[in-house]
Amino acid sequence: MSENKYYNIITYGCQMNEHDSERLAGMLEEMGYQHTDELADADIILLNTCIIRENAELKVFGKLGELKQYKRENSDLIIGIGGCMMQQDEPVDEVYKKYRHVDLIFGTHNIHHLPNLIKKIEETRDRVVEVWDEEEGLIPDLPSQRESEHSAWISIIQGCDNFCTYCIVPYVRGRERSRPVESIVDEAKRLAEDGVKEITLLGQNVNSYGNDLDKEITFPKLLEELNKVEKLKRIRFMTSHPRDFSDALLENIKKLDKLANHIHLPVQSGSNKVLKEMNRGYTREYYIERVKKIQEEIPGAAVSTDFIVGFPGESEEDFEKTIELVKELNFDMAYTFIYSQRSGTPAARRDDQVEEEVKKERLKRLMDLQNKISYDKNQKLIGTTQEILVTGPSNNDPEVYEGRTSTNKICFIEKNEELIGEIVEVKIEAAKSWTLEGTVI
Ligand code: SAM
Ligand code: SF4
């Protein structure tokens, strides 16, 4: 056991990475380490990295440079780096050669080996590199040091088989592996007993859940099982691939009372030519039909999406198709990204890359339009009553508390510690593009 020893984990990227960091923290706590917010007090600092876009990588290298000072002050400090970036040869080489203060490099497939890797370093003080090229089935269930007491992530499927031509994820997270239904339901029950009110099921494509299992279990059936878990109040899931968003899933969202009224359905582009070249497996018309069906059949449901602008070969006409789609579908929210060349992916090898300036200009046009739509939609909520799960102080102002509506909108309320973890009714009094404000009734 490591007594009076402290750790800090710096996480980049998506919810999967944040959840992996909770599991890294869980293992460190089992080893006797305690969390500290102060890097200067830490005996172990881990970076959990992201490689989805170039700027994510640049941030990691910047942080690694900063960490050198802590190693100078404390030569016993262990600095480790893991996550998606470390599943690629080039960044591993660069870290190993140029950042000599890094003691440990590990990948996404062997996070469960962290305790052994740390013990090895503690005993030998050698630098350790352990990155597996391939996944060995599912990463086993691991202890988690959860960020929130009231909402929790549950990983239901690891990896991705889709190979969208711009995306690095299948190369760094491996093939799809579904977790057995019993293990997911057991975790949900344990979390609910511990006071968790809301769970978010995680996977790169949750709709593929079960395809690799022998049994007759599908994602909609998994939702039925989870809806039965007592004390649980809300179930969210992300991400859904539009191609696999079935009518059976839509019916269950309508039918199951605990399912949140929010669907994140990344479209990426409104142009059929671009969608085909992205290997997304659906057309613009199909996508529009799916979203309209959701909006018509689930009253009040919020739909959000992701866009990539400046995919290789994207013409002004293609981009206009995206703009038209946004106008037609009135999304509640959208994450908009500039296409980033990821080495090893088919799109990165194309010689018709879009100029940076053009990409930036398209991004701005798209963001301006979506912000206006989100603003108008949120303004219509003023005067309505919404249920929010109060999570605690907001990031920017500890005197203001926040929670999320079933439709996944952030809502600010007055500070009230007693409400943390409660689902309360709020009268909405103000609204911006990304947030609401209200008073608890
Ligand atoms: N699996 C999910 C899906 O298919 O929508 C999302 C996974 S990815 C972590 C989240 C988002 O990052 C994607 O929806 C896409 O918009 C964006 N993304 C992925 N690769 C990208 C790239 N090379 N450049 C810019 N954005 C990218
Ligand atoms: Fe990447 Fe496409 Fe898989 Fe999503 S579905 S993780 S975008 S390859």
Q: What is the pLDDT of residues 326-337, one digit of tens each?
A: 999 999 999 999
pLDDT at 1 over 70: no
CA–CA separation, 77 vs 70, rounded Å? 8
pLDDT in tens, 81-95: 999 999 999 999 999
Find all residues with CB under 8 Å of 117, minimum gap 6, and list them: 80, 104, 106, 128, 130
Per-residue confidence band for 24, with pLDDT thresholds at 50, 70 and 90: very high
The average pLDDT across 8-13 equals: 97
411 labeled part of a ligand binding site:
no
pLDDT of residue 214: 76
Whole-number Å distance between alpha carbons of 92 and 86 = 6
Q: How far is the CA of 249 from the centre of ligand 1 (A)?
A: 22
How much distance in Å is there from the Cα of 45 to the middle of ligand 2? Answer: 30
Name the packing angle between helices 356-379 and 316-329 (round to 10°). Answer: 10
Say whether the peptide bond before residue 239 is cis (omega within 30 degrees of 0): yes
Q: Would the pLDDT of 426 be above 90?
A: yes
If 0-12 CB within 10 Å is exposed, 13-18 middle and 19+ buried, where does residue 316 land? exposed
Q: Give the pLDDT of residue 148.
A: 83
Ligand 1, atom 7, residue with closest C-alpha: 204
Q: Which atom of ligand 2 is nearest to the CA of 160?
A: 3
Residues with CB under 6 A from ligand 2: 160, 162-164, 167, 169-170, 204-205, 241
- Is the pLDDT reported for residue 362 higher than 70? yes
Query: 409: CA distance to ligand 1 center in Å?
Result: 21
Is the pLDDT higher at 69 or at 134? Answer: 69
pTM: 0.94
Residues 48-83 pLDDT 10s: 999 999 999 999 999 999 999 999 999 999 999 999
> Which tokens in the block code for residue 345?
């992916």
Ligand nearest to the CA of 348: 1
Average pLDDT of the residues of the chain: 95
- The pLDDT of 379-406, averaged and rounded, is 95
Domains and CATH numbers, the chain: 6-130 (3.40.50.12160), 151-379 (3.80.30.20), 384-440 (2.40.50.140)
Which residue is closest in CA terms to ligand 1's atom 4? Answer: 241
Ligand 2 centroid, distance to 320 Cα (angstroms)? 24
The yes-or-no verdict on residue 140 having pLDDT over 80 is: no
Instruction: Report the number of secondary-structure helices (H) and strands (E) in the chain.
Output: 12, 19
> Rounded to whole angstroms, how far apart are CA atoms 176 and 333?
28
Q: Which of 306, 342, 350 to mutate to test the pocket of ligand 1 (most atoms within 8 A of CB)?
A: 306
pLDDT range class, residue 215, cuts 50, 70, 90: confident
Q: Return the pLDDT at 143.
A: 83
67: enclosing H helix or E strand: helix 54-73
What pLDDT sits at residue 283? 98
Task: Inform me whether the pLDDT recorded for 3 exceeds 80.
Answer: no
* pLDDT higher than threshold 90 for residue 149: no
